[in-house]
Amino acid sequence: MSTIITDNRLLSIEEKVKNGQRLTIEDGLFLYETPDLLGVAQLANKVNLEKNGNHVYFIENMYINPTNVCEANCSFCGFKRKSGQEGAYTMHEEELLEYVSKRWNDGIQEFHIVGGHNTDVSFDYYLDTIRTLKKHYPQVTVKAYTGAEIEFFSRISGLSMKEVLQELIKAGLDTLPGGGAEILTERYRAKMSPDKASTDQWLEAHEIAHGLGLKTHATMLYGSIESTEERLIHMDRLRQLQDKTNGFMVFIPLAMQPRSVKASLKRRTSAYDDMRTIAISRLMLDNFQHVKAYWINIGVQLTQMALSFGSSDIHGTLIEERISHSVGALTSSGITRDELIHLIKSANKIPVERDTFYNVIKEY
């Protein structure tokens, strides 16, 4: 398939991609600036087709947020509550099991667990959450606790991050989600998430996890104060760690959500930015197998478009997503398997239901 390029400056990028050369941050800056978005999309689509063919992956999963009590003060978060504040909650065993049983179906492959940095409970609480789920649902993969949470557990327990991860693995942890990365530069983190893990600490948590045999996920929360160069620095830091460990399975660009569902278009990322960022992610992250289009944040129709912009995964059913919806996501909080299959097929792709580790369950 020939590429139709209207910006001749893209030809040098095309040549690099064709020859398997790694793109630089300067190349990435050009990709963000060129008006030829469809040219960028075609290059990203070619890379994805070479890696994954026409297959698009999804999973049946359930989100669980065991507590929303949090010591951190991230300026983009509408989910957290302070201890004693109205709406604050912490699920213990009975409440946790009730929450899951009400939303359970036999197709669920994964529990995706993220919560607040709650200092009212000890590290044992977080271990017990995993133990409880593994005891009652031993067949389900536990994807729990971000790199930022691992650093938080280290602080409240007095254990090293390696010891924290070893204890979590003993309790039944199977993988880490990609959250808590936000933007991996200290300028950004000082302004947006000053109480959470630093860039180096987040990367260290995942490097340790990879060393202990866990495959993990990586995200990027874009669309606020970061520069395009900082987005690219973020991608570069991830691919450097991937060169070292090959422990990341997928990269997930997450569009920043505004504080309110009534927020104007000016407070949201544009469709152009969303599609461009997915395509550039695919081109920059040459050592990642998958780039995910997160339908919760960009909507199902843009997710379909993303499948021609380099994305090979559309995430999962979720059942009930809370965090993005607490800050203005306009999408539904869950979706059915049939809807995901339709979404993929109507984009002329092949739906593949997977487990957490991209093992094929069924091709549709």
CA–CA distance, 73 with 196 (Å, rounded to integer):
8
In terms of DSSP bridges, do strands 360-363 and 350-354 run parallel, antiparallel, or are they unpaired? antiparallel
Closest C-alpha among 96, 23, 48 to residue 310? 48
Residue 272 burial (CB < 10 Å; 0-12/13-18/19+)? Answer: exposed
pLDDT above 60 (res 322): no
- pLDDT of res. 81: 87
- pLDDT of res. 262: 56
- pLDDT of res. 334: 65
- pLDDT of res. 266: 60
Candidate from 16-25, 39-48, 249-258 with smallest mean pLDDT:
249-258
pLDDT above 80 (res 70): yes
pLDDT band at 303 (very low <50, low <70, confident <90, very high): very high
Candidate from 32-36, 73-77, 213-217, 231-235 with smallest mean pLDDT:
73-77
- pLDDT of res. 337: 83
- pLDDT of res. 299: 87
pLDDT above 50 (res 328): no
What is the sign, positive or negative, of the torsion defined by CA atoms of 69, 160, 126, 108?
positive
Percent of the chain surpassing pLDDT 90: 79
Closest C-alpha among 201, 237, 204 to residue 219? 237
- At 236-293, the pLDDT tens digits run 999 999 999 999 999 999 998 765 555 555 667 999 999 999 999 999 999 999 999 9
Q: Which long-range contacts (CB under 8 A, 24 or more apart) does 296-300 make?
A: 296/321, 296/324, 296/325, 296/329, 296/331, 297/254, 297/255, 297/257, 297/324, 297/329, 297/331, 298/255, 298/269, 298/271, 298/274, 299/330, 299/331, 300/331, 300/335, 300/339, 300/343
CA–CA distance, 153 with 149 (Å, rounded to integer):
6
316 compared with 320, residue with greater pLDDT: 316
In terms of DSSP bridges, do strands 141-144 and 216-222 run parallel, antiparallel, or are they unpaired? unpaired
> What is this structure's pTM?
0.92
In the sheet with 61-64, reading across from the earlier edge strand, the strands are 61-64, 110-113, 141-144
- DSSP secondary structure letters along 77-121: -SS-B-TTSTT--B--HHHHHHHHHHH--TT--EEEE-----TTS
pLDDT above 90 (res 33): yes
pLDDT above 70 (res 221): yes
Q: What amino acid occupies position 14?
A: E
CA–CA distance, 291 with 313 (Å, rounded to integer):
6
DSSP-assigned beta bridge partners for residue 55: 350
Percent of the chain surpassing pLDDT 70: 92
CA 263 to chain centre: 23
The DSSP secondary-structure symbol of 257 reads P
CA–CA distance, 156 with 361 (Å, rounded to integer):
39
- pLDDT of res. 2: 65
- pLDDT of res. 321: 44
- At 345-354, the pLDDT tens digits run 999 999 999 9
- pLDDT of res. 265: 53
318 compared with 328, residue with greater pLDDT: 318
